Amino acid sequence: MQQDQSDITLITATAPVATTTHGGRAKCLQRLVRLEMPVPKTVALSFDAVHRIAQGDMPDMAELLAPFGPAPLVCVRPSSEDPDWGGPGAVLNIGMNDAQYVEMSDRIGQDAAAAIYKRFVQSYAIHVARLDPDEFEHVVEDGAEGLSQVLSAYEDETEEEFPQDPAVQLAEVLRSMARAWEGTTARLLRQAKGAPAEAGLGLVVQEMALGLGRGECGSGVIQLVDSTTGAPRIIGRYLRQSQGRDALERREEALFLERDDRGPSLEDLAPDAFAALKRMTALMRERLREEMQAEFTIENGVVHILDGVRVTRNARAGVRIAVQLAEDGIITREEALLRVEPRALNELLHRQVDPTAERDVLASGIAASPGAASGRIMFSAAEAQASAARGEPCVLVRRETSPEDIRGMHAAVAVLTERGGMTSHAAVIGRGMGLPCVVGVSDFKFQLRGKTLVAPDGRELRQGDIVTVDGTNGQVLAGEPAMIEAAEDDALLTLMTWADDVRDIGVRANADTPADAQTARNFKAQGIGLCRTEHMFFEADRLTVMREMIFADTSPDRAAALERLLPMQRADFIELFRIMQGQPVCIRLFDPPLHEFLPSDRAGHRELAEALDLPLSDVTRRVEALGEYNPMLGMRGVRLGITVPEIYDMQARAIFEATIAASREGAPVVPEIMIPLVSAKREVEIVKTRVDAVAAAVRNETGQDFTYRLGVMVETPRAALRAAEIAPHTAFLSFGTNDLTQMTYGLSRDDAGRFMSTYVQQGVFAEDPFHTLDQDGVGELLQIAAERGRAARSDVVLSICGEHGGNPESIAFCRAAGFDYVSCSPFRVPVARLAAAQLAV
């Protein structure tokens, strides 16, 4: 079958060439042609054409070569739709043969001609004839001698003469590149980079601009920004008498571009060519609306632009480049917002392992909290604290963490647990604190008694050994690889301001402590969407009082303990209100089962017996009595609030007293009080009646007035389904998607890590639903609740405060469902702000 006309196109300003049919390189070359850049003549082959070549259907080679004259000399380069998907390496100097060699020797000198011919024979031998590259290693000579050795090596190995016909050479090169793309390995590699299975490859055939010969000849690359910082700087190299990407491969021999004190430069050598290159790259930036790297050749002093590619960049540079392009009026602010991948901001907000550093991976788990840190492994919270006190950074290693480990987590630089998933204790607390955390590392053998960890490859780690926890990709590395520091620079702040100007869904933070609240403010959260009050009780002095409260046998004893907790809570809330300066603060009443506050081992029981002056047997008995088979589904949340109402009474009082105190100092505070784990309307009525009564009492006692808003956390499927009867009693509904996911799937959030990777690998779940909101199932419940809630009470405020609140996909879902705001851990606030802005652009 004859190839279609538009399948093989000479690139001109008006030729029908598109990224989706001919690939990004072909399209970019056309743009350069339109800018009247000195681009050598180029023919583009479409995806279809290349696919047919792979199947053996060759185009008419004479026609293909016609634009290049009677003695063509060309190169072929890949042109996939997205340059990140890769492609076969370029082949240069196609068309070199004995006749060209003779002619060229006259024109540019024999050595240059021999180097060009030799390079082609070698790459043809390796890429087309598939000879072993080692066969050519012994050829070290340059000039005619080296060339004849390479030719004989080719002929020895293939038992054929080196093909002389440019049409044959080109056909073979095209066929081998087309087939390489369709091979299984190449396909899997690009699919891993996000390419669709059927992604096509285009090829461009371009006239060679020789970088070897008489006069100033050479090749190089130039870009106008630094790829790691995004700062304006002329970056690149130029290598005299070279071709292709030699200047990058032989960096030590290459020259810098701009004149400075590092050594000779292209600017010294060929000032006009340098000035032209600078001008052309700047024009590319302006007209292609992107920072570009130009590949160029200088042939006898004349500049040729062979190619332009988007400058590679890390996240930090990406932000700065986008902002700078917008500030220069080249792109709009909206476009700048769209050019930064929200998740990439994590790289700026947390320390990361240097991507160029060697990674010695010991084990992998769930990437629960981004950032990386190195430290000595410590197997208990107490040892972590001791290590921190000695000034030695440490990594806390636990089977799973519990509230008792909070102080150890504060002392550690990172956390590593055997069990758990995205919403387990370590993960939630780690994210809140900005502490790198990997959970569910079940391929380590945790020998906690012997204080060792055994890696899958048998390596044994003991207490005190140094590891690095990379919470960004879920790996545990041996030793201390180089790190890149977090860098919240001006460009990011600017981009964030633009984001806030356009987004139409609010972003709050989950913050439990004054430190979290401060981080939330720094990241410009619009208030606190979830303050988990139980986290306020883990300081040593409070824990003892809390335990006294739990152990109280009589109502007066309990009242006495609560009386002592009240001023502590009040002080907490005053501090939160003060930091948030009038922004909304949503306080969730006590949620976890009480036994989480009690020690779990015998030594702990003994200590507690001493502290409370009780017989050990009493303590053990009470701890056992409080134990539950399924604590996550047991006496927690509002169930505890109804069974032991004095706790919520105390919290309500602390909130109201703090409201009065904080309003006296600054902006009036309207606290939001949230009831966790509701499943029935009656629960809300009962709690509301009591909270109203406390409010009335505080108003009476103080003579001060205040308002507050009471809301419900939708965390059980029943609460979602019954939203119509719950909404009339509540000012807001906040979806706790951690528990809601757990209960919708019937899947323990603390144990899911054990099999989640198997489930995801086998495609049972597309993704970990604790990480990415399950829009089909949990999402349907969210939608039902939102609709029923709104129908019953049109001004009910809707939000999400589970860990999904910071994920771009969940934010899109919540926005589409008409939610008012999302709330996520403070360090994810910038990611959420940007993701929200992208939805509104």
Q: Does 652 bind ligand PEP (CB under 6 A)?
A: no
Report in angstroms how near the CB of residue 413 gets to ligand PEP at its nearest: 24
CB 579 within 8 A of CB 527: no
For residue 42, what are the CA distances in angstroms to 15, 251, 447? Answer: 11, 28, 64
Report in angstroms how near the CB of residue 596 gets to Mg ion at its nearest: 13
Which residue lies nearer to ligand PEP by CB, 292 or 427?
427
Which residue lies nearer to ligand PEP by CB, 23 or 805?
805
Whole-angstrom distance, CA of residue 542 vs CA of residue 647:
14
Count of C-beta atoms within a 10 Å radius of residue 16: 12
Q: Which of 320, 324, 380 is nearest to 347 (CA)?
A: 320
Residue of 347, 404, 739, 768 interacting with Mg ion (CB under 5 A): 739
Could you give the residue ranges of the DSSP H alpha helices within 211-353? 246-249, 266-269, 271-288, 315-327, 333-338, 345-349
Q: Does 736 bind ligand PEP (CB under 6 A)?
A: yes
Report how far apart the first and last C-alpha atoms of the chain are (Å, whole number). Answer: 46
Among the listed residues 304, 425, 729, 804, the single catalytic one is 425
* Helix/strand/coil (H/E/C) assignment for every residue in 240-260: ECCCCCHHHHCCCCCEECCCE
Report in angstroms how near the CB of residue 690 gets to ligand PEP at its nearest: 22
For residue 528, what are the CA distances in angstroms to 346, 511, 610, 753? Answer: 21, 6, 39, 29
Report in angstroms how near the CB of residue 742 gets to ligand PEP at its nearest: 8
SS3 490: helix
CB 107 within 8 A of CB 183: no
Report in angstroms how near the CB of residue 655 gets to ligand PEP at its nearest: 18
Which residue lies nearer to ligand PEP by CB, 290 or 715?
715
Cα torsion 389, 393, 399, 404 to 10°: value is 30
Residue of 118, 398, 532, 547 interacting with ligand PEP (CB under 6 A): 532
Largest Cα span, the chain? 108
Which residue lies nearer to Mg ion by CB, 379 or 735?
735
Q: Does 499 bind ligand PEP (CB under 6 A)?
A: no
Whole-angstrom distance, CA of residue 208 vs CA of residue 451:
64
- Choosing among ligand PEP, Mg ion, none, which partner's interface includes residue 801 (Cβ < 5 to 8 Å by kind)? ligand PEP
Whole-angstrom distance, CA of residue 255 vs CA of residue 266:
6
- Choosing among Mg ion, ligand PEP, none, which partner's interface includes residue 570 (Cβ < 5 to 8 Å by kind)? none
Whole-angstrom distance, CA of residue 219 vs CA of residue 741:
57
E strand or H helix at 180, and its extent? helix 166-182
Site for ligand PEP in 400-429 (CB under 6 A): 423, 428
Report in angstroms how near the CB of residue 414 gets to ligand PEP at its nearest: 21
Among the listed residues 28, 394, 437, 801, the single catalytic one is 801
Q: Does 657 bind ligand PEP (CB under 6 A)?
A: no
CB 348 within 8 A of CB 493: no
Which residue lies nearer to ligand PEP by CB, 468 or 737?
737
Q: What are phi and psi for residue 483, nearest 5 degrees? A: -120, 160
- Choosing among Mg ion, ligand PEP, none, which partner's interface includes residue 807 (Cβ < 5 to 8 Å by kind)? none
- 766: DSSP letter: S
Report in angstroms how near the CB of residue 778 gets to Mg ion at its nearest: 13
- Choosing among Mg ion, ligand PEP, none, which partner's interface includes residue 802 (Cβ < 5 to 8 Å by kind)? ligand PEP
Length of the chain in residues, anyone? 841
| 564 burial type by CB count under 10 A (0-12 exposed, 13-18 middle, 19+ buried) | middle
Could you give the residue ranges of the DSSP H alpha helices within 793-828? 808-816
Q: Which residue minimizes CB distance to Mg ion?
A: 739
Report in angstroms how near the CB of residue 676 gets to ligand PEP at its nearest: 7
Which region, judged by CB under 6 A, interacts with ligand PEP, from 141-149, 250-258, 463-471, 730-738? Answer: 730-738
CB 353 within 8 A of CB 372: yes
Count of C-beta atoms within a 10 Å radius of residue 133: 10
Report in angstroms how near the CB of residue 673 gets to Mg ion at its nearest: 16
Report in angstroms how near the CB of residue 175 gets to ligand PEP at its nearest: 57
Q: Pairing relation of β-strands 466-470 and 372-378?
A: antiparallel
Which residue lies nearer to ligand PEP by CB, 281 or 737?
737
Q: Is residue 801 among the annotated active site residues?
A: yes
Which residue lies nearer to Mg ion by CB, 475 or 716?
716
Which residue lies nearer to ligand PEP by CB, 295 or 596?
596
Which residue lies nearer to ligand PEP by CB, 429 or 658?
429
| DSSP per-residue letters across 375-392 | EEEESSHHHHHHHHHTT-
Q: Does 516 bind ligand PEP (CB under 6 A)?
A: no
Which region, judged by CB under 6 A, interacts with ligand PEP, from 168-176, 299-307, 665-673, 735-743? Answer: 735-743
Residue of 371, 736, 769, 830 interacting with Mg ion (CB under 5 A): 736
- Choosing among Mg ion, ligand PEP, none, which partner's interface includes residue 530 (Cβ < 5 to 8 Å by kind)? ligand PEP
Q: Does 530 bind ligand PEP (CB under 6 A)?
A: yes
CB 678 within 8 A of CB 712: yes
User: How many residues bind ligand PEP, per CB under 6 A?
Assistant: 12
Which region, judged by CB under 6 A, interacts with ligand PEP, from 385-393, 665-673, 733-741, 813-821? Answer: 733-741
- 523: DSSP letter: T
User: How many residues bind Mg ion, per CB under 5 A?
Assistant: 3
Which residue lies nearer to ligand PEP by CB, 593 or 671?
593
CA 695 from chain centre, in angstroms, equals: 45
Q: Which of 712, 815, 230 is nearest to 502 (CA)?
A: 815
SS3 160: coil
- 677: DSSP letter: S
Q: Measured at the alpha carbon of residue 245, what is the angle toward residues 241 and 250, in degrees to the nearest 5?
A: 70
| DSSP per-residue letters across 788-799 | HHHHH-TT-EEE
Count of C-beta atoms within a 10 Å radius of residue 812: 17
Site for Mg ion in 703-722 (CB under 5 A): 715
Site for ligand PEP in 577-596 (CB under 6 A): 591
Q: Does 715 bind ligand PEP (CB under 6 A)?
A: yes
- Choosing among Mg ion, ligand PEP, none, which partner's interface includes residue 828 (Cβ < 5 to 8 Å by kind)? none
Which residue lies nearer to ligand PEP by CB, 410 or 535?
535
Q: Does 81 bind ligand PEP (CB under 6 A)?
A: no
Q: Is residue 586 among the annotated active site residues?
A: no
Which residue lies nearer to ligand PEP by CB, 419 or 532?
532
Whole-angstrom distance, CA of residue 219 vs CA of residue 488:
37
Which residue lies nearer to Mg ion by CB, 216 or 739?
739
- Choosing among Mg ion, ligand PEP, none, which partner's interface includes residue 737 (Cβ < 5 to 8 Å by kind)? ligand PEP
Q: Does 737 bind ligand PEP (CB under 6 A)?
A: yes
- Choosing among ligand PEP, Mg ion, none, which partner's interface includes residue 810 (Cβ < 5 to 8 Å by kind)? none
Residue of 93, 364, 716, 738 interacting with ligand PEP (CB under 6 A): 738
Q: Does 679 bind ligand PEP (CB under 6 A)?
A: no
**H helix and E strand count, the chain:** 34, 30
Report in angstroms how near the CB of residue 521 gets to ligand PEP at its nearest: 20
Residue of 529, 802, 806, 830 interacting with ligand PEP (CB under 6 A): 802
Output the six-digit token pair for 825: 């851990």
Whole-angstrom distance, CA of residue 289 vs CA of residue 388:
49
Q: Does 750 bind Mg ion (CB under 5 A)?
A: no
The residues binding ligand PEP (CB under 6 A) are 423, 428, 530, 532, 591, 715, 736-739, 801-802
What positions carry a catalytic annotation? Answer: 425, 801
The residues binding Mg ion (CB under 5 A) are 715, 736, 739
